[in-house]
Amino acid sequence: MILSLYLILAAGLFAVGLYGLLSQQSIVMIMMGIELAINGVIVAAAAVWYFIVPGSPDAQTVVLVAMTAMAVEMGMGFAVTTAIFRARDVDMVDSASDLKG
């Protein structure tokens, strides 16, 4: 178990999440992709703590922050989806192009 493998795992999770958040149409699915990406960050932070800086708990703090980010993202995401659904009766990201131009 070397650092590189953990990091490759993290990279893989991140890449899958990236694929998801770039290609999905539904807001909820995009959120799922984001969650996967952050999960990858969590794994990478944990690996860094273990292999590089085990003496200080700084990397664990990063994990905590990442988890918080997940929670926040989900909460806000669903709120926005609700608002859009109420306004337009769709939850597709393609219809939210009001900022065009």
Partner 1 sequence: MPLVLLVMLPAAAAVVLLLRGRRTDAAAPAIAVAVAVIDLGLAIVAAIARPSAEVTALNSIPGAVAVDGLAAIAMVTVAAVFLAVVVFACGDIGRGEARSRFFGTMLLFVAAMFVTVTAVNIFTLLAAWEIMGATSYALIGFWWSEPGKARSGLIAFITTRSADVGMYVAAGAALAAGAAGLNLARLDEVAGGWRDIALAGLALAALGKSAQLPFSFWLSHAMAGPSPVSALLHSAAMVAAGGYLLLRIEPGITATGWLGPVVAWIGALTALLLGAVAVAQRDLKQLLAASTCSQIGFIVLAAGVGGVAGGATQFVAHAAVKSLLFLVAGAWLAALGTKNLLRLRGAARTHPVAGITFTVGALALGGLPPLSIWVAKDQILSAALPASTALYTVGLAAAALSAAYSAKALAVIWTRPASVAPLDVRAGRIPVSELLPLPALAIAATVLGVLGVPPLAAAWSRTLGTPDAPTSPPWEFAMSATLAVTVIVLVVWWQHRRLTRSDELVADTAWLRDWLKMEAGIDVIVVRPIRALSAWCSRFDDRVLSQAVTTVGSAVLRLSRVVNARLEWAIAAAVAFVADGARRLATAAVRPQTGLLHQYYDQAIVGMAVLVAVFILMR
Partner 2 sequence: MDAIAFGVCSVGSIAAGITVFRVASMARATFALLASFVLAAVPILLLGLTYLGVLVILMMVMEMMIMVVFMLMYMMNPAGLMPMKMVHNNRVSTIVAAVVFVVLAVGATVTPWPHGGRRSNADPTKALGLDVMGPHMLVMVIIGLVLFATMVSAIVLASARGRYDRYGDDLRVRPPQDPVQGGLGGRRRGGLQR
- Positions touching partner 2 (CB under 8 A) are 1, 3-20, 22-26, 28-29, 31-33, 35-36, 39-40, 42-43, 46-47, 49-58, 60-61, 63-65, 67-68, 70-72, 74-76, 78-83, 85-86, 91, 94
* CA 81 vs CA 5, 97, 101: distances in Å: 37, 14, 23
What's the min distance (Å) between Cβ of 98 and partner 2?
A: 16
Closest to partner 2 by CB, 86 or 98: 86
Region for 92 from its dihedrals, namely left if φ exceeds 0, alpha if ψ lies in -120 to 50, beta otherwise: beta
